[in-house]
Amino acid sequence: MSFPVFRILSYILGIVGTSLALPFAAALLWDGLRPALAFGVPMAAGWLAALACALAGRRGGGLQLDVRNAFMTVGGAWIAIGVFGALPLYLSGAFPSFVDAVFESVSGFTTTGATVAADVEALPHSVNLWRCQTHWLGGMGVIALAVALIPLLGVGGFRMIKAETTGPEKGKVTARITNTAKVLWAVYSGLTLLQAVLLHACGMGWFDAVCHAFSTLGTGGFSTRNASVGAFSSPAIEWICTVFMLLASVNFALYYQLLKGRVGDVFRDSELRTFVGLALGAIWVTTAVQSVGYSSLSEALRYSAFQVASIMSTTGFMTADYAGWHPSAQLVLFVLFFVGGCSGSTAGGVKVIRWTVLWKQLENEFRRILHPHGVFTMRINGLAGRGEFVPLVASFLFVYLLLVLLTSFVGTLAGLDLVTAFTGALSMVGNVGPAFGALGPTENCGALHPALKCWYAFAMLAGRLEIYTLLILLGGLFHRRVPNRRV
């Protein structure tokens, strides 16, 4: 691993260390000396690592990375922050096992939201704040944050952001990648602040409002309450979370287009139209099926819309135990495990754009059968000739499902039943959080075998980085001869 890679990793740890200042202040205010030290020591360590590498490389100028080092940087950074973020959880005593602390940290940064904590309300305020804050940091991406904050990373930053950002089509919304990262983080921060204010206006305390805004916009699902959002028993709070979970599932580049007044480009977006159609269709079917299980149609709509938004956005918040719903409603939610949010959003899953591409390809195949001599093209966002996406989507789905099946097999080896193992694998690889069976919405991962927790942590990281980045890093492919292109 080259020195520029180490240098960038140290800067990223410095940024994550700086973010510990907020839970450190919360620990001083509410929790006492031990939790404060648990956050203060890693915070100082992150600063020292960044300072040491900055001084060592101050004569080196810009940080240029070739393709292999860009992948190594992104993969290595996400592994490093997963372990680094576990330090305060372990040192505070909130998680007595370091494996549990790493699982919780990785689940937070990857916005999966699966937890090993049986009683989150018993955790210190600072720990709960950090858990939710990891969602927010990981949602938009720590690499994107680093590129936005450190001008030196502008050289080669686009390659790193492409390796971190979700979805098959990734581009710049501004001419400079540094400005793109700043724009995306500004929109992200603005929506987070807006939701926190709205939640507070509806009766949440500021601490709970900030934590749940972090978790919602990061589509993570960690909560400060054991019963998740349902603990507040507030239709207004539930509707706010429903709306913002869906907003967080939309490509954030489209918000920039809206701010620039390019409304037509937003409405032409094929993925957005498909996403809205799928969400509304799932809500309608679930509401119709569950209408007999609630006192009124409006109540059925409220609970159905919340759970559809929660699963489709891969947030994982709960207001109802869907394990007790009608099997047809459960099937709708199960299908959504395969869908996810939009490309370029904070949501996990396969992504709507990939299913959109496959559907359009299927339409073209039917046309070719009926008109063998016809010439057909695929249109995405109103542009023709996008057929090059098909092999990319097909190869990704193959690797994605292969990892799901492998993770299911590991789950069965660890003693899980087939339903729990398969849906748990879908949840971990898709960064959803809850599953079915023994890992359902009212359960947690605390009783899992430590080896399975470690594998699940790998699956969560692989899913967050869309598999290729982490597999390339760990697969030894860097030893092959590849073109050493600068980016």
> Is the pLDDT reported for residue 183 higher than 90?
no
Q: What is the number of other CB atoms lying within 10 angstroms of the CB of residue 280?
A: 12
Average pLDDT over every residue of 22-47: 95
Name the residue among 183, 110, 142, 134 with its Cα closest to residue 8: 142
C-alpha–C-alpha distance, residues 284 and 381, integer Å: 26
CB-based contact 328:336 (threshold 8 Å) = no
**For all residues of the chain together, what is the average pLDDT?**
88
Name the residue among 442, 193, 453 with its Cα closest to residue 319: 442
CB-based contact 55:75 (threshold 8 Å) = no
Which amino acid is located at 423 in the chain? T
Q: How would residue 209 be classed by pLDDT, with cut points 50, 70 and 90?
A: very high
Q: How would residue 487 be classed by pLDDT, with cut points 50, 70 and 90?
A: very low
* pLDDT of res. 279: 97
Average pLDDT over every residue of 471-479: 62
> 170-179, 188-197, 360-369: lowest mean pLDDT where?
170-179
Which amino acid is located at 270 in the chain? S
266 vs 212, more confident:
212
* pLDDT of res. 182: 86
* pLDDT of res. 58: 61
Average pLDDT over every residue of 180-207: 94
> Is the pLDDT reported for residue 395 higher than 60?
yes
- Please state whether 436 falls in left (phi above 0), alpha (psi between -120 and 50) or beta: beta
> Is the pLDDT reported for residue 72 higher than 50?
yes
Q: How would residue 476 be classed by pLDDT, with cut points 50, 70 and 90?
A: low
Average pLDDT over every residue of 131-150: 86
Which amino acid is located at 148 in the chain? A
Q: How would residue 130 be classed by pLDDT, with cut points 50, 70 and 90?
A: very high
* pLDDT of res. 486: 45
Name the residue among 313, 196, 173, 163 with its Cα closest to residue 256: 173
Where helices occur in 57-156 by DSSP H, the ranges are 67-84, 86-91, 98-109, 125-140, 142-149
Average pLDDT over every residue of 343-354: 92
* pLDDT of res. 261: 87
> Is the pLDDT reported for residue 234 higher than 70?
yes
Q: Which residues are CB-neighbours of 427 under 8 A, at least 6 positions away? A: 112, 114, 337, 433, 434, 435, 439
Q: How would residue 152 be classed by pLDDT, with cut points 50, 70 and 90?
A: low
Average pLDDT over every residue of 135-162: 75
> Is the pTM of the predicted complex or chain greater than 0.85?
yes
